[in-house]
Chain A
Amino acid sequence: MSQLVHLTIDGYEVTAAEGTTVLDAALAAGIYIPHLCSHENLHPYGACRLCVVKQQGVEGVITSCTTPVQEGMVIDTHDEMAQKIRKLSCDFMFKTHPTECTGCPKYGKCQLQSISQYIGDTGRKLKANPISVAADTSNPIILHEMYRCILCGRCVRACQELRGVGVLKFATVKGRTQVVIDGNNLNSAGCRFCTACVEVCPTGSIREYEALAQKAIGKTREAALIPCKDGCPAHVDVPRYLRFVREGKYAAAAAVVREKAPLPESLGYICAHPCEGECKHQCLNSPVSIRNVKRFAAQHDDGAWKANSFQKPDTGKRVAIIGSGPAGLTAAYYLRKLGHSVTILEAQAQLGGMLRYGIPSHRLPREVLDREIAEILSVGIEVKTETRVENVAALMAEGYDAVLIAVGTHQGSKLPLANNDLPDVYTNTDFLRAAGKNEPLPVGNRVVVLGGGNVALDCATVARRLGAQDVHAACLERYDAMTCSDEERGWAEEEGVKIHPAKTFLSIEAENGKVTGLKIAGVKDFFFDAEGKSHIELEENSEEIIPADTIIFAVGQRPDLNEGFGVELGRGNRVTTATDGATSVAGVFAAGDAVTGTKTVIAAIAAARDVVCAMDKYLGGEGEIAEALAPVQEANPCIGRIENFGSAERLEPSILPADERVKGFIQMDFGFTAEQAVTEAERCLQCDLRLQLAPQRFWNDYPIHEAKGEQA
């Protein structure tokens, strides 16, 4: 145990552990001493001369950031010479630094600005000595505007001491010391883009690129710093599980995912991965293939997390959950763990909702889904399949204390086109549900799908697998604005699905009650007005007929509910809820697509977690479902230098060739090998390491300071 040392700073009795510096002891006691080159996480440097103080009995001043505390020390931070030194140092720094603060993006968050306000201007008429170096905007993540640099060396030390990277160094350029890149550019020099330099820079010299900085506005520090985690609706801790994968701890990685989502492997197959949309690596080339790494990790789950999983004692409360899609399953899982007795009521013969009756089996193998559902049910959930709930009040009357409506959106819509009621005209939901049941609806040789989302492409690729040779998908959006993912569209096109973007649908052509084609026309422009009404401008003479035997509408879907269900329904037949998921009926909650309209599996899981908290509180619980399933991780901040690290290309999983996969509903995406998963996880920029660094503080963050007290 380290010895405690007693000293006096500005008349305050201060106690600090032996080895602490005078500066740290003062700051910890809430006494502000101006300092700039000193940083909590970095070795002392003594360069800025702002932290000098007077020690009684010692000639001259001492540097408080490099002087360890001694028993009985008497420190005066307001000594006249110390103040003179501070002011001179500040004057000198402002002769090299641009004097106009208002145009600087760091305005209001700049430590130099704050310190100069604190110390005050002496008005000394020294000659300006600006650093003439142009802004370096060549890197898409880290912006260098070194004409603002005051050479405190924090970035150099952070890069070298903390990260072991060392791509920043001091160099003499035209007789002046500057911070430069140790190489031609950050990427080739071996930068890991951890942005520790950005975190520690007290001025606006090293900053995150403007667009990235804009995204961070209004967010918490954690959300702003870890965009992938923030982008995930369930806030799965992506950098943490990627790190576990890098360390070869695959099961631990899977447990990290499971802390926020109980269907990790299914998500590994089909998650819409909004995390990747936020991944900063896309600024360099393309985002980390997070989903595929997750899938690999989930496939290596060893169940060790179960030892850490909470199970609260039974509460005696009964909860009914209508629907067993991702929202229903997630809610059932956590409500049961909270001690409630849970019954799932599912209209279909099997559980899974859209995971089973929407997403085709070639994208999500059913054995994976079955295994993960069984895992969820193993906590003790009662299941009633082929049980359609017609009225909530009647259900409540069966003695349930609370009900969750998680029915999803299983009713497809048709556009008001002529002949849309012919037997060869299907909706997306009917078509995919039948395929999911293994009782596919018959398709002709030529199929046209109306719509350009992922569901439309699922319909098209299912039709291909059912034997249709000539499959088309037509949609209103331009090719580059289609709502489907590029990946799924690429796969569909490989399988021969022809995309007709920027088209409007005029009529379904038919002869003798049989569909013969779809008449479409080109769209120059379209937009939705304030009321949500669409306005379409047609291209002249662009009408054409796509010959077809089968038409599938994939233009949206809604909850399969009606007025008789007994809760207030809003636009698009969606269940109206308060922000916590409560419906118009007491004790009845709703979550997932039934509330939001068709979204993603991960969004449904996240919504279910939220509604579980609200329901638990309603049932008298605390609404606490957070759990640490994965072992504690100690992220090593020393990541080392890797030349051209940012150029590493995103790995793609091995995919069955198109001509093979259209032969049937066989698994097409084989995911990553261990080597691929680790290599891909190594591309992670480890944005989360920045959280280990102390946030920048200012004089008004310390209770004891003499605001403006040092002004001449």
Chain B
Amino acid sequence: MNVTVLNLCSSPIDAYLLQNYADALVKGTQALSADTELLVCVPEETSALDTLAASKYVIPYSPVLREPTALYTAMETGVIRVHPIVKTFENEGWQHRPTTVVTGEEAYRAATGAAGKLICVNGEVKEVAVGTALSELVETAKPVLLGGCNGKFVAAAELANTTVSLEPLFDSIQTYGDKDCLAAAAAEAIHQCVGYSCHNCVLCREGSWHLENIFQSITAGKGKKDDLAMVEDIAPIMQEGCLCEFGRGMATAALTAVQVCRAELEAHIVKKTCPAGVCKAFANYAIRPDLCTGCGDCIDECPEDAIEGKKGFIHIIDQDLCEKCGKCAEVCPENAIVCGEKFRVPKKLVRVGRFS
């Protein structure tokens, strides 16, 4: 008997459907799996699909699982790993049974007759007609991230030219505002990819590490002029050379980040500032001389002993020692410790109220 696998582990939409439309999933799956042995993969233990009476596999969410070979390997060994030879389920003695994978959204559509694409827009799932331009969905001045960590960054100007299709790329849209740092967003996306990579193919395993390394050094203020060129050098090769779509998607995310977020990335590298004020590496904490009461609470709190001061004197942060953890600002009873503001501070200890 052929096999049908309901895969609810590879898309944020699946989790939403499992929570809100379990009945539709059951109905749709039944329709799509007639005359086959049904197996169900869920990201966590649930009884919502028990009426399907299918063998259940609990496999943690990973976009890599869109790759059927990774799904089969995970079902059989518990380890998510892309394995090009495992083309169908059940490789007992390398004999395979013809297998079809059904996604949650496919089952939902089969049950409800819905024609649109379910899209998770900034965490909220909406059904959107295929062909809709993204500019109708979101309004933003900054680039957006389509399809999660292994998706792609799209410039705001391009949103009108980008229309929704049923591809997994349109599973999610993440927008960014003035207080969001795109360098940090790119670094976070690649960081997630490092965690998801099955580590089988060299380009994805090592490439994700190098890309993460580059974006993290940029957000940590250690970015170099050549960093963006390096991404533009290796990412296009990874886009072609990675073993599976996940790795290629990761390379696309990294490459588009450089292409459409270049100004913000260069600000980190060249001007050594984070325009959104998010990347702590660029933040300078300082104590406002007009507010400090010289209480010493911040001195006790600082793990780096970077704050100089004594009772009744305006305290001073040594910028060379400061690790920008922000703990001082949290404990200051006067809210005198601020970040990113420009004002004069004393160079040596001055009594409270004497600095002007």
CB-CB nearest in chain A for B94: A43
Q: Assess whether A127 is in contact with B241, with CB atoms less than 8 Å apart.
A: no
- Asked if B321 lies at the interface with its beta carbon under 8 angstroms from chain A, I say no
Q: How far is it, in angstroms, between the C-alpha of A45 and the C-alpha of B200 when the chains are bound?
A: 9
| Contacting residues, chain A, for B200 (C-beta < 8 A) | 45-47, 153
Q: Assess whether A127 is in contact with B210, with CB atoms less than 8 Å apart.
A: yes
Q: Assess whether A46 is in contact with B84, with CB atoms less than 8 Å apart.
A: yes
| Surface stretch bound by A, among B29-37, B50-58, B232-240 | B232-240
- Asked if A577 lies at the interface with its beta carbon under 8 angstroms from chain B, I say no
0/1 interface trace, chain B 213-244, chain A, CB 8 Å (1 if under): 10000000000001000100110011011110
Q: How far is it, in angstroms, between the C-alpha of A44 and the C-alpha of B206 when the chains are bound?
A: 20
- Asked if A356 lies at the interface with its beta carbon under 8 angstroms from chain B, I say no
| Contacting residues, chain A, for B237 (C-beta < 8 A) | 81, 84-85, 88
CB distance from A431 to the nearest CB of B (A): 65
CB distance from A92 to the nearest CB of B (A): 4
CB-CB nearest in chain B for A67: B84
0/1 interface trace, chain B 189-218, chain A, CB 8 Å (1 if under): 000001000011111011101100100000
CB distance from B220 to the nearest CB of A (A): 13
| Contacting residues, chain B, for A5 (C-beta < 8 A) | none
Q: Assess whether B240 is in contact with A89, with CB atoms less than 8 Å apart.
A: no
- Asked if B85 lies at the interface with its beta carbon under 8 angstroms from chain A, I say yes
CB-CB nearest in chain A for B243: A46
- Asked if B81 lies at the interface with its beta carbon under 8 angstroms from chain A, I say yes
CB distance from A712 to the nearest CB of B (A): 13
Contact status of A126 and B241, CB under 8 A, knowing A47-B201, A151-B199? no
CB distance from B225 to the nearest CB of A (A): 12
- Asked if B79 lies at the interface with its beta carbon under 8 angstroms from chain A, I say yes
Q: How far is it, in angstroms, between the C-alpha of A127 and the C-alpha of B202 when the chains are bound?
A: 15
| Contacting residues, chain B, for A47 (C-beta < 8 A) | 200-202, 243
CB distance from A263 to the nearest CB of B (A): 45
CB-CB nearest in chain A for B241: A85
Q: How far is it, in angstroms, between the C-alpha of A76 and the C-alpha of B58 when the chains are bound?
A: 43
- Interface residues in A293-314 by Cβ distance below 8 A to B read none
Partner of B202, one of A48, A60, A63, A170: A48
- Asked if A52 lies at the interface with its beta carbon under 8 angstroms from chain B, I say yes
Q: Assess whether B199 is in contact with A89, with CB atoms less than 8 Å apart.
A: no
| Contacting residues, chain A, for B27 (C-beta < 8 A) | none
Q: Assess whether A88 is in contact with B238, with CB atoms less than 8 Å apart.
A: yes
- Asked if A96 lies at the interface with its beta carbon under 8 angstroms from chain B, I say yes
- Asked if A125 lies at the interface with its beta carbon under 8 angstroms from chain B, I say yes
Q: Assess whether B84 is in contact with A85, with CB atoms less than 8 Å apart.
A: no
CB distance from A651 to the nearest CB of B (A): 35
Contact status of A63 and B243, CB under 8 A, knowing A45-B83, A47-B202, A89-B203? yes
Partner of A63, one of B84, B206, B226: B84
0/1 interface trace, chain A 120-131, chain B, CB 8 Å (1 if under): 000011110100
CB distance from B216 to the nearest CB of A (A): 11
| Contacting residues, chain A, for B209 (C-beta < 8 A) | 129
Q: How far is it, in angstroms, between the C-alpha of A44 and the C-alpha of B200 when the chains are bound?
A: 12
Q: Assess whether B202 is in contact with A44, with CB atoms less than 8 Å apart.
A: no
- Asked if A483 lies at the interface with its beta carbon under 8 angstroms from chain B, I say no
0/1 interface trace, chain A 644-659, chain B, CB 8 Å (1 if under): 0000000000000000
0/1 interface trace, chain A 340-371, chain B, CB 8 Å (1 if under): 00000000000000000000000000000000
| Contacting residues, chain B, for A129 (C-beta < 8 A) | 206, 209-210, 213
- The residue among B85, B194, B242 with the most chain A CB atoms within 10 A of its own CB is B85
In the complex, the number of residue pairs spanning A and B with C-beta atoms less than 8 Å apart equals 89
Q: How far is it, in angstroms, between the C-alpha of A61 and the C-alpha of B241 when the chains are bound?
A: 7
| Contacting residues, chain B, for A125 (C-beta < 8 A) | 226, 230
Give the number of residues in B that approach A within 8 Å (Cβ atoms). Answer: 29
Q: Assess whether A45 is in contact with B85, with CB atoms less than 8 Å apart.
A: yes
CB-CB nearest in chain B for A93: B202
CB distance from B349 to the nearest CB of A (A): 42
Contact status of A49 and B206, CB under 8 A, knowing A43-B85, A63-B84, A170-B199? no
- Asked if A56 lies at the interface with its beta carbon under 8 angstroms from chain B, I say no
| Contacting residues, chain A, for B243 (C-beta < 8 A) | 46-47, 49, 63
Partner of A81, one of B194, B210, B213, B240: B240
- Asked if A106 lies at the interface with its beta carbon under 8 angstroms from chain B, I say no
- Asked if A177 lies at the interface with its beta carbon under 8 angstroms from chain B, I say yes
Q: Assess whether A49 is in contact with B241, with CB atoms less than 8 Å apart.
A: yes
0/1 interface trace, chain B 76-101, chain A, CB 8 Å (1 if under): 00010111110000000010000000
Q: How far is it, in angstroms, between the C-alpha of A177 and the C-alpha of B82 when the chains are bound?
A: 14
- Asked if A66 lies at the interface with its beta carbon under 8 angstroms from chain B, I say yes
Q: Assess whether B84 is in contact with A177, with CB atoms less than 8 Å apart.
A: no
Q: Assess whether A124 is in contact with B213, with CB atoms less than 8 Å apart.
A: no
| Contacting residues, chain B, for A45 (C-beta < 8 A) | 83-85, 200
Q: Assess whether A177 is in contact with B240, with CB atoms less than 8 Å apart.
A: no
- Asked if A95 lies at the interface with its beta carbon under 8 angstroms from chain B, I say yes
| Contacting residues, chain B, for A44 (C-beta < 8 A) | 84-85
CB distance from A313 to the nearest CB of B (A): 50
Q: How far is it, in angstroms, between the C-alpha of A175 and the C-alpha of B195 when the chains are bound?
A: 8
Q: How far is it, in angstroms, between the C-alpha of A172 and the C-alpha of B210 when the chains are bound?
A: 18
Q: How far is it, in angstroms, between the C-alpha of A273 and the C-alpha of B203 when the chains are bound?
A: 52
Partner of B210, one of A92, A151, A153: A92
| Contacting residues, chain B, for A52 (C-beta < 8 A) | 241
| Contacting residues, chain B, for A88 (C-beta < 8 A) | 203, 207, 234, 237-238, 241
Q: How far is it, in angstroms, between the C-alpha of A95 and the C-alpha of B205 when the chains are bound?
A: 12
Q: Assess whether B84 is in contact with A49, with CB atoms less than 8 Å apart.
A: no
Q: Assess whether B234 is in contact with A49, with CB atoms less than 8 Å apart.
A: no
| Contacting residues, chain B, for A172 (C-beta < 8 A) | 199
0/1 interface trace, chain B 115-129, chain A, CB 8 Å (1 if under): 000000000000000
| Contacting residues, chain A, for B94 (C-beta < 8 A) | 43
CB-CB nearest in chain A for B91: A43
| Contacting residues, chain A, for B85 (C-beta < 8 A) | 43-45, 66
CB distance from A573 to the nearest CB of B (A): 65
| Contacting residues, chain A, for B206 (C-beta < 8 A) | 92-93, 95-96, 129
Contact status of A126 and B210, CB under 8 A, knowing A85-B237, A85-B240? yes
Contact status of A92 and B84, CB under 8 A, knowing A47-B243, A81-B240, A127-B213? no
0/1 interface trace, chain B 149-192, chain A, CB 8 Å (1 if under): 00000000000000000000000000000000000000000000
CB distance from B300 to the nearest CB of A (A): 34
Given A85-B241, A95-B206, 4 extra CB contacts under 8 A:
A45-B83, A49-B201, A85-B240, A151-B205
What are 6 contact pairs spanning A and B, CB under 8 A?
A46-B243, A66-B85, A84-B241, A93-B202, A124-B233, A175-B194
Give the top 9 A-B pairs by smallest Cβ distance, nearest first.
Answer: A85-B241, A92-B206, A177-B199, A46-B84, A66-B84, A89-B202, A88-B237, A43-B85, A84-B237
